[in-house]
């Protein structure tokens, strides 16, 4: 299954966030980095390449799941012991750079780090 198809099924609610992250991780041989900027870009890296996912054009209902997909992918890269995790920037209150409390809240809302 393509990464775009996994993302689509996740945002439609047919896959849980953790299932989608694990499918992406397995499909590319391990997530090593995530770059997510709200409404601009969503890229997932492995040790050999960069994979672009859609970052805009979603319904209000789908956006929280998109954020959770980015956040849990970031934590999956951390779990995979990557040296360069990238970053997830959703807003001034939710960012891996300076506002991790918001990142942890999103992760907990969708099953927490134990779900990975």
SS (H, E, C) 44-85: EECCCCEEEECCCCCCCCCHHHHHHHHHHHHHHHHHCCCCCC
pTM beyond 0.85: the answer is yes
Q: What's the burial of 71, exposed, middle or buried (CB within 10 Å: 0-12/13-18/19+)?
A: buried
111 pLDDT above the threshold of 90: no
Radius of gyration of the chain (CA): 13
Question: pLDDT of 53-98, one tens digit each?
Answer: 999 999 999 999 999 999 999 999 999 999 999 999 999 999 999 9
Instruction: Give residue 13's pLDDT.
Output: 96
**Mean pLDDT, the chain, as a whole number?**
95
């Amino acid at each position: 299954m393509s990464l775009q198809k996994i993302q689509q099924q996740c945002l439609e609610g047919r896959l849980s966030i953790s299932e989608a992250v694990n499918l992406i991780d397995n499909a590319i041989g391990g997530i090593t980095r995530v770059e997510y900027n709200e409404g601009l870009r969503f890229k997932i890296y492995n040790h050999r390449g960069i994979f672009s996912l859609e970052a805009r054009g979603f319904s209000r209902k789908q956006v929280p799941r998109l954020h959770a997909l980015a956040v849990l992918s970031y934590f999956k890269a951390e779990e995979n012991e990557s040296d360069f995790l990238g970053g997830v920037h959703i807003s001034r209150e939710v960012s891996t750079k300076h506002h991790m409390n918001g990142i942890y809240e999103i992760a907990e809302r969708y099953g927490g780090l134990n779900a990975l």
